[in-house]
Amino acid sequence: MSDQFKAIVLNQEGENFSREVKSLDKSFLKHGDVTVKVDYSDLNFKDGMILKNGGRLVKEYPHIPGIDFSGKVIGSDNPKFKEGDEVILTGFRVGEVFFGGFSQIAKVSGDFLVKKPDSLTSKQAMILGTAGLTSLMSAFAIQARESILLGEKVTDVLVTGATGGVGSLAVMALTKLGYNVTAVTGKDSKSDYLKSLGAKNIINRAEFDKDPRPIDKGLWDGVVDTVGGKILANAIAQTKSNGIIAVCGNVNSNELNTNLLPFMLRGIKVWGMDSANCSIKRREFIWGEASNLIDFDLIEKSVLTVSLEELVETYPKILKGEIAGRVLVDLNK
C-alpha cells in the first residue's frame, strides 16, 4: 500500500482559517499505536463546528478532523489488534485533540477502538456513527426505567429534534423497543419521513419552544432530548412520575431554565448521555445490539453519501439544520 493518502487538513494562521483536501504521507500521522485504512466516516454536528472554524475544540494546527471512522487495521503495535481486524471508532476526542477520520489512513490509540461485530458492515457502522451510538444509548436509558423501577412499563416517549441524525435514529430504535414515539420537529415537510421511521405522532417545535410552566400535565414516560433550552425545559415539565429524560444534545441552547417541582413531586430523572467517553464494554454492547434496533434498508434511503471533496462543500448544511438523516463519507469515493 502506498504511503500517500488523502485527508481534509485544517489550518489556522492568525485570523485566517482554511480547510482543504490534501495528499499526505503516513509520516504526517503522529498519534496512536494502531493504523487503520479508513473505509467510511460520517458528518456530525460537532464535525460541522470543527470544519467551520475549529469549534473552539481544536488547539493545534495543522489538524485532520473527523470524530468517527470505520475500517481495517493495516498496522498495529497494540496487542489487542492485528492486521485485518475490522474496527469502529467514535469519540475519545479523536478529530478534536487527535487526528481524525476525514482521512484515508488514520492512526489512533488502540484503547479507542472497538472491533466491529459481524452483524454490522463497515458502512452500516458509519451510517450510525456517534449519532447512532448516542441514540441507542438514549433508547437503552429509557428502557432502563423498566428495570430501575422494578418493571414499571414505558409506553409514551418524546423525541425532540427528531429529523436530525440522533433524533431520527432514536425514533426508529425506540419504536423497535415497542414504545409509542411522539416526534418534535420544526420541519412540517418531514412528517411522512418521521412516520416512516415509526413515529406515531408529530408535534411542531413551536409548541415546546416557549417559556415553560413550573410543572405541566404529565405526558411522557421518557424523553430523548437532542436540542436543550426551552424545548428541554418544557419536556421536563411534561414528564410523568418517575420518567427518565436522556439528554444528548444542545443544538438549540446550552441553557436550561427549570425548577425543582418536576424532580420533587414526580421523581423524574435527567440522564446525560456521554457517548464520547463511555466505556469500551458499553460500546461493544451497543454496537452488538444495533442491527436489532435499526432498519438499515429504510434508513439508507435518507443517507447522503459524499467524498472528502464534497464534504468540504456540504458541512455548512448541518449547522443550518438543513440535513435530515445522516451524511456518510466514503473515503474511496
User: What share of the chain in percent tops pLDDT 90?
Assistant: 85
Residues 266 and 219 in one domain: yes
Q: Domain for residue 84, yes or no?
A: yes
Same domain, 248 and 316: no
pLDDT at 150: 63
Q: Tell me, yes or no, whether 204 and 171 share the same domain.
A: yes
Look at residue 151 in the predicted model and tell me its pLDDT. Answer: 67
pLDDT at 87: 98
On whether both 182 and 69 belong to a single domain, the answer is no
SS3 at position 256: coil
17 pLDDT tier (thresholds 50, 70, 90) = very high
Task: Supply the CATH number for residue 316's domain.
Answer: 3.90.180.10
Clarify whether residues 268 and 140 are in a common domain.
yes
Residues paired with 7 in a beta bridge: 22, 103
How many other CB atoms are found less than 10 A from the CB of residue 171? 30
**Band of the pLDDT at 294, cuts 50, 70, 90?**
very high
pLDDT of residue 135: 97
CA distance 123 to 42: 10
On whether both 135 and 262 belong to a single domain, the answer is yes
Is 76 in the same domain as 18?
Answer: yes
What whole-number distance in Å separates Cα of residue 309 and Cα of residue 271?
38
Per the structure, the count of domains in the chain is: 2
pLDDT tens string 229-258: 999 999 999 999 999 999 998 877 788 889
Mean pLDDT of 296-323: 93
H or E element in which residue 195 lies: helix 191-197
In a domain, 24, yes or no: yes
Residues 102 and 139 in one domain: no
pLDDT value at residue 278: 93
Same domain, 96 and 164: no
Sequential DSSP letters for 83-136 = TT-EEEEE-TTBTTTB--SSBSEEEE-GGG-EEPPTTS-HHHHHHHHHHHHHHH
What would the pLDDT profile of 253-276 be if each residue is shown by its tens digit? Answer: 788 889 999 999 999 999 999 999
Which of 272, 295, 311 marks a domain boundary? Answer: 272
Residue 280 maps to a domain: no
| 316 within domain boundaries | yes
Q: Which domain holds residue 223?
A: 131-272
**pLDDT over threshold 80, residue 73:** yes
- Tell me: pLDDT of 165 over 90: no
Cβ–Cβ < 8 Å for 150, 172: no
Average pLDDT over residues 134-160: 90
CATH number of the domain residue 149 falls in: 3.40.50.720
Q: Looking at the structure, do residues 195 and 245 belong to the same domain, yes or no? A: yes
The answer to whether residue 282 sits within a structural domain is no
